[in-house]
Amino acid sequence: MQCNEKVTYRKPMRLRILPVLSVCIFLGVWQLCVGPADSNDWRIPGTLLSSPYDILSLMFDKLTNPAPDGAVLLEHAWTSMQEAFLGYVLALIVGLPLGLAMGWFTTVRGLVRPIFEIIRPIPPVAWIPLTIFWFGIGLPGKVFIIWLSGIVPCVINTYTGVRMTNPVHIQMARTYGASDWQIFTSICVPSALPMVFGALQIALAYCWVTLVAAELLAADKGLGYLITIGRMLGRTDLVMVGMVSVGIAGAIIGFIIDKIESRLLAGIRR
């Protein structure tokens, strides 16, 4: 126990100070370089870049003040997260079983692979016009775009995971007379699990990135919409509040998934 603590404690000392230092220096330099909107000296005018202080104070203001875009910050964040999670969960529900089945069953691979390979290179953003025709700018349209972007890594990762199954394990199961379905459920799926967890991470990242892109073009609420409104009003600070919020929310989600994954995988891999 003691030994363990020492090992895990020593390294983070440096890792704990340096990140704080780098963030402080970054923010400090940024703050110094940004001047007021009409500044004529070497500093960057506030119309092109907002200072960290301005962004932070606007963020606090936006927590309670719906003007000028019609909703408070948490409302935007909540809308975005709803869309992202809905698309994400739907992508998992369809993508994981599909990828697993494609890895093992030749019929499924033969049927799905060609279509998948053609749809895969189309960027999800390219679907936006069609989506607006079909669903309008409400929730379903954005969920559809996010679903499209999340399903690709789900299928590819789980497919690869199944294909990487140790062939000796499959032979072993065969000699015991296991059916194709038994081999699939008892050998291939457990073998693919680490790759499936990888898919959960990657798909979420894809979903979040696409969400902002989708909202930039078609939305009436959400963090991406906040950025668009900021641009239309010429409010640099509002644009940057949106950007920073997207970054923070994404980091928080990634952190949570990381925690869940390490706990679940610990149970599977020991």
Instruction: Pick between residue 31 and residue 179 the one whose CB is nearest to other proteins.
Output: 179
Q: In whole angstroms, how close is the CB of 104 to other proteins at the nearest point?
A: 16
Instruction: Pick between residue 167 and residue 234 the one whose CB is nearest to other proteins.
Output: 167
**Burial tier of 22 (Cβ tally within 10 Å: 0-12, 13-18, 19+):** exposed
Residue 237: which of 51, 40, 61 has the closest Cα?
Answer: 51
Q: In whole angstroms, how close is the CB of 198 to other proteins at the nearest point?
A: 16
Q: In whole angstroms, how close is the CB of 222 to other proteins at the nearest point?
A: 40
Q: How far apart are CA 109 and CA 66, in angstroms?
A: 50
For the chain, the first-to-last Cα distance in angstroms comes to 18
Helix or strand run (H / E) with residue 49:
none
Q: In whole angstroms, how close is the CB of 85 to other proteins at the nearest point?
A: 29
Q: In whole angstroms, how close is the CB of 188 to other proteins at the nearest point?
A: 11
Instruction: Pick between residue 57 and residue 182 the one whose CB is nearest to other proteins.
Output: 182
Instruction: Pick between residue 39 and residue 186 the one whose CB is nearest to other proteins.
Output: 186
Between the CA atoms of 55, 59, 61 and 67, what dihedral angle is there, to the nearest 10 degrees? 100
Q: How far apart are CA 119 and CA 130, in angstroms?
A: 14
Instruction: Pick between residue 57 and residue 166 the one whose CB is nearest to other proteins.
Output: 166
Task: Give exposure, 114-127, as e/b (b: 16+ Cβ within 10 Å).
Answer: eebeeeeeeebbeb
Task: Give exposure, 188-208, as e/b (b: 16+ Cβ within 10 Å).
Answer: bbebbebbbbbbbbbbbbbbb
Helix or strand run (H / E) with residue 186:
none
Instruction: Pick between residue 190 and residue 254 the one whose CB is nearest to other proteins.
Output: 190
Q: In whole angstroms, how close is the CB of 183 to other proteins at the nearest point?
A: 9
Q: In whole angstroms, how close is the CB of 56 to other proteins at the nearest point?
A: 47
Q: Which residues bind other proteins (CB under 8 A)?
A: 168-169, 171-179, 182, 186-187, 190-191, 193, 268-270
Token pair recorded at residue 213: 């892109």
Instruction: Pick between residue 56 and residue 178 the one whose CB is nearest to other proteins.
Output: 178
Residue 39: which of 51, 47, 29 has the closest Cα?
Answer: 47
